[in-house]
């Protein structure tokens, strides 16, 4: 769980630093990160719990196929964090149960 | 054995090696490409036409006498399957390999690994050059290691200390 | 929104389908779920096999850049990123979800080039964090520059598994072992395997992972040799100190959109499982739907690109645009040359089944 600094083939052009919150805790990522990549870089492994058995889940496919990485983002549940770009001030939380939509009416 | 664990036998290696007389004359390419795969950058990259192939999926054939040891094929090969071997110098053999890792310093002492990944001898980094891959857009570092006499056919990688 | 050709998926197949359809004069809309084009190529740092004259020796990441540029610069192509096709409605609308908004697109023809998904390992504890798809690790590492762990076990010694081992070493991680249940190397190119062996990365054939340790996340693994019936042999267990387990045991086509749209699917394990029945021209039983790339059967990027070209050109041709038939025949020839390698025997068997099925149904 670390940012790769020197790579023999790739150079990582990291954008500006972005502050976000995971379960209320302040964390930092870069422009160009997805929520999932920023969480992983900050050492977060458990993204949510499975519904019935409450088993820990992390990401699995990282390209939006499998739904292993669903989280609540700014109050919206079931966001695929592996394909959602990280934005300044985002509040990212582990989902409780299936999550609720909180429609206005 | 190659089909089982990806490690060539001594016979496999000897079958690809240039004749001893050719190695004594200077650097020459040794193509360790084992399978009929759809691939040909080695053929296209060679300025002297030393490497030939019947069709895209054939195993490349090399005419060691046409090879001038320029290492362009070493840089071009996507399989990183080609090395230059040189037995012309008294103070030790030379092996040049494509190396896509953080680069060593010239003069650095390294542990040399064989096809199995076992340390077989000590070596010294003699040269690091960057040669164009076949499309010219990319450069591949080629590292030349000085190894003890007789080790050119064995050493295919190195570990920094 | 109306368009002649809707291309779903911006990998090598989709990008090339878009380019060829647009070249023929069709208006094209390309939708891609990710925030960038390129599909799986964006994580492939190694150089590709194939014809040097046609880009072999070029790294996947460079091919992705070249093709994305060609797509973005083409005036007939509209690219929609972070846009996911979610289904077909009765009035012919393909619904696209873009950042929470729904956008219906009414195309005359659709090329489905959505790629594949990685298979999961059916053993206990394989659902905890630290067990990741091999491609997911490549994505984290090469697209975002993040290493999800330090010490790795790779399950599956096909091309993806052995390439991942090499790439992890390049990124500074430690690969403790690559295991595979087969007694001999299967689909992996030997040159990719020799590359990791000479670096000293252990490869255990006829081995499998029998235990994944840890409750919250991976804290180790046990591997063991297996017998002919794939049962672990007692006494051969080895404990590995790893924090991450990469699964590379195969891919299967993403077929949910095709299924929903009524494309006929058949079971061909050699091509990855359920695949759409399609002709060499990439036509399906639905006259408005074409398929290409991994979504139509698992192969690799070079063949995906060629299939994409064929699908895009044929879709434009079926709409009445002027298309060079010779070019289409040339791409088909290139495909068969690429598929000619002896180690692709299994693939050829799968393709044979597929073409027979297409013939039976009269698909052209
Ligand atoms: C992990 C991995 C490693 C690989 N390594 C190699 C390799 O080393 N060498 C090699 O030659 N081949 C490799 N391959 C194979 C090669 O990358 C693929 O065969 C090739 O990328 C297939 O191209 P494609 O266009 O069909 O699919 P993809 O490249 O997968 O592209 C499909 C695109 O569709 C998008 N998409 C999916 N669903 C939707 C939707 N509903 N709406 C909008 N967009 C959608 C996806 O985001 C993706 O960008 C690898 C494949 C994988 C998965
Ligand atoms: S080293 Fe140069 S001359 Fe010799 S085979 Fe390779 S490309 Fe040709
Ligand atoms: S370029 Fe390398 S992998 Fe390709 S055929 Fe030549 S030697 Fe073999
Ligand atoms: S990890 Fe699979 S959808 Fe995000």
What are the tens digits of pLDDT across the range C351-361? 999 999 999 99
CA dist C263 and C361 (Å) reads 13
Nearest to C119 by CA among C155, C143, C147: C155
Reported as a single tens digit per residue, the pLDDT across C50-93 is 888 888 888 899 999 999 999 999 999 999 999 999 999 999 99
**Residue B22 pLDDT exceeds 50:** yes
Question: Which parts of B3-116 are beta strand (E)?
Answer: 28-31, 51-52, 61-62, 82-86, 93-98, 109-113
Residue with tokens 């399978």: B35
Task: Give me ligand 1 centre to Cα C294, in Å.
Answer: 7
Q: How confident is the model at residue A105 (pLDDT cuts 50, 70, 90)?
A: very low
Which residue has better confidence, C187 or C157? C157
- Please state which of the ranges B24-33, B91-100, B131-140 shows the lowest mean pLDDT: B131-140
Query: A54-63: per-residue pLDDT in tens?
Result: 899 999 999 9
B54, B46, B47, B59: which is closest to B16 by C-alpha?
B59
pLDDT at A101: 66
Ligand 4 site, residue A62, Cβ cutoff 6 A: yes
Closest CA to C32 of C90, C92, C77: C77
Report how far ligand 2's centroid is from the alpha carbon of B29 (Å). 6
Residues C34, C276: Cα–Cα separation, whole Å: 24
Distance CA C74, CA C242 (A): 47
Chain B CB contacts of C197 below 8 Å? 5-7, 115-117
Min Cα–Cα distance to chain A from C194, Å: 20
* Residue whose pair of structure tokens reads 């002492």 in the numeric block: B109
Q: What is d(CA A58, CA B143) in angstroms, rounded to the nearest whole number?
A: 40
Nearest CA in chain C to A62: C136
Rounded Cα distance between C63 and C70, Å, is: 11
Domain range A17-93, CATH class: alpha beta
More confident residue, A99 or A8: A8
pLDDT at A41: 97
Mutate to test the pocket of ligand 4, among A38, A45, A66 (most ligand atoms within 8 A of CB): A66
Task: Kindly provide the residue ranges of all beta strands, DSSP E only, lying in C272-353, ordered along the sequence.
Answer: 273-276, 289-291
End-to-end C-alpha distance for chain A, whole angstroms: 43
Residue having the nearest C-alpha atom to atom 6 of ligand 3: B42
* Cβ proximity of B108 and B124 under 8 Å: yes
In percent, the amount of chain C with pLDDT more than 90 equals 90
Pick the residue from chain C with its C-alpha nearest to B158: C199
As for the ipTM of the complex, it is 0.95
Q: What is the mean pLDDT of chain C?
A: 95
C-beta of residue B95 within 8 angstroms of C-beta of residue B155: yes
Chain A positions in Cβ-Cβ contact with residue B101 (cut-off 8 Å): 8
Task: Quote the CA–CA distance of A62 and C128 in Å, as a whole number.
Answer: 15
Q: How far is the CA of A47 from the centre of ligand 4 (A)?
A: 11
Q: How confident is the model at residue B136 (pLDDT cuts 50, 70, 90)?
A: low
- For residue B135, name the pLDDT band (cuts at 50, 70, 90): low
Q: Across all residues in chain B, what is the average pLDDT?
A: 95
What sections of C60-198 are H helices per DSSP? 60-73, 134-138, 159-170, 190-197
Residue nearest to atom 8 of ligand 3 (CA): B33
Query: How many contacts (CB atoms, under 8 Å) link B and C?
Result: 142
Q: How far apart are CA A70 and CA A42, in angstroms?
A: 17
What's the pLDDT score for residue A104?
54
A5-19, B50-64, B137-151, C46-60: range with lowest mean pLDDT: C46-60
- Residue A1 has a pLDDT of 64
Pairing of strands C207-213, C220-225: antiparallel
* Contacts with C276 (C-beta within 8 Å, 6 or more apart), sequence order: C112, C253, C255, C258, C263, C264, C265, C284, C291, C295, C296
Residue C5 to chain A, least CA–CA distance (Å): 24
Interhelix angle C12-23/C301-318, rounded to 10 degrees, is 30
Span A6-16, mean pLDDT?
A: 89
Task: At A35, list the tokens.
Answer: 């929520």
The token duo for C236 is 């051969």
Q: Are B140 and B115 in contact (CB under 8 A)?
A: no
Q: C179-233, pLDDT tens digit by residue?
A: 999 999 988 999 999 999 999 999 999 999 999 999 999 999 999 999 999 999 9
Give C58 or A81, the one with higher predicted confidence.
Answer: A81
Query: Residue C253 pLDDT more than 80?
Result: yes
Structure tokens at C101: 């908004």
C63 alpha-carbon distance from chain centroid = 15
Cα–Cα distance for residue pair C235/C233, rounded to 1 Å: 6
Local confidence band at C341 (pLDDT 50, 70, 90 cut-offs):
confident
Contacts of C337 in chain B (CB under 8 A): 38, 55-57
Please answer whether residues B152 and B123 qualify as being in contact, where contact means their C-beta atoms are separated by less than 8 angstroms: no
pLDDT band at A13 (very low <50, low <70, confident <90, very high): confident
Between residues A6 and A22, the one the model is more confident about: A22
Q: Ligand 3 centroid to A54 CA: how many Å?
A: 50
């Amino acid at each position: 769980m670390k940012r790769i600094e020197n790579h023999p083939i790739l150079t990582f052009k990291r954008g500006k630093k972005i502050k976000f919150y995971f379960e209320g805790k302040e964390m930092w990522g870069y422009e160009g990160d997805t929520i999932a990549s920023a969480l992983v870089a900050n050492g977060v492994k458990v993204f949510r719990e499975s519904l019935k058995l409450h088993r820990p889940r992390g990401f699995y496919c990282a390209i939006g196929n499998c739904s292993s990485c669903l989280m609540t983002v700014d109050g919206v549940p079931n966001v695929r964090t592996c394909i959602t770009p990280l934005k300044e001030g985002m509040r990212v939380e582990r989902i409780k149960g299936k999550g609720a939509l909180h429609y206005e009416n | 054995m190659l089909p089982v664990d990806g490690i060539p036998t001594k016979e496999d290696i000897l079958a690809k090696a240039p004749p001893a007389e050719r190695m004594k004359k200077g650097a020459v390419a040794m193509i360790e490409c084992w399978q009929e795969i759809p691939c040909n950058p080695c053929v296209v990259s060679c300025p002297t036409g030393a490497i030939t192939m019947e069709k895209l999926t054939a195993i490349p054939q090399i005419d060691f006498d046409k090879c001038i040891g320029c290492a362009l094929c070493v840089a071009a090969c996507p399989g990183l399957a080609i090395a230059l071997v040189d037995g012309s110098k008294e103070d030790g053999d030379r092996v040049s390999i494509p190396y896509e890792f953080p680069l060593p310093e010239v003069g650095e002492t390294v542990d040399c690994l064989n096809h199995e990944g076992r340390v077989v001898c000590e070596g010294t980094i003699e040269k690091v050059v960057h040669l164009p891959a076949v499309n010219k857009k990319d450069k591949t570092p080629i590292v030349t290691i000085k190894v003890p006499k007789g080790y050119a056919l064995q050493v295919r990688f190195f570990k920094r200390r | 929104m109306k368009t002649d050709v809707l291309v779903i998926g911006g990998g090598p197949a989709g990008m090339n389908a878009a380019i060829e359809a647009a070249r023929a004069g069709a208006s094209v809309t390309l939708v891609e779920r990710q925030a960038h084009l390129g599909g799986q190529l964006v994580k492939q740092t190694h150089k590709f096999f194939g014809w040097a004259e046609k880009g072999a020796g070029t790294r996947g990441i460079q091919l992705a850049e070249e093709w994305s540029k060609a797509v973005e610069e083409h005036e007939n192509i509209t690219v929609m990123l972070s846009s996911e096709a979610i289904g077909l409605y009765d009035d012919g609308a393909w619904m696209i979800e873009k950042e929470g908004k729904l956008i219906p697109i009414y195309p005359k023809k659709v090329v489905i080039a959505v790629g594949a998904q990685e298979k999961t390992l059916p053993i206990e504890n394989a659902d905890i964090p630290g067990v990741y798809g091999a491609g997911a690790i490549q994505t984290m590492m090469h697209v975002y520059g993040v290493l999800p762990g330090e010490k790795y076990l790779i399950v599956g010694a096909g091309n993806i598994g052995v390439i991942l081992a090499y790439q992890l070493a390049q990124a500074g991680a430690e690969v403790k072992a690559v295991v595979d249940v087969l007694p001999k190397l299967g689909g992996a190119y030997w040159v990719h395997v020799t590359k990791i062996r000479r670096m000293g990365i252990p490869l255990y054939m006829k081995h499998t992972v029998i235990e994944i340790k840890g409750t919250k996340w991976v804290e180790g693994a046990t591997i063991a040799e297996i017998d002919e019936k794939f049962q672990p042999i007692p006494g051969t267990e080895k404990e590995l100190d790893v924090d991450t387990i990469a699964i590379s045991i195969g891919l299967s086509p993403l077929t949910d959109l095709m299924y929903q749209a009524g494309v006929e699917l058949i079971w061909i394990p050699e091509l990855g499982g359920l695949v759409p029945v399609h002709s060499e021209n990439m036509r399906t039983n639905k006259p408005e739907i074409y398929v290409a790339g991994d979504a139509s059967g698992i192969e690799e990027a070079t063949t995906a690109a060629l299939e994409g070209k064929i699908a895009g050109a044929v879709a434009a041709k079926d709409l009445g645009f002027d298309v060079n038939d010779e070019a289409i025949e040339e791409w088909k020839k290139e495909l068969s040359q690429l598929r000619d390698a002896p180690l692709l025997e299994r693939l050829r068997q799968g393709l044979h089944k597929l073409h027979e099925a297409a013939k039976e149904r009269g698909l052209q």
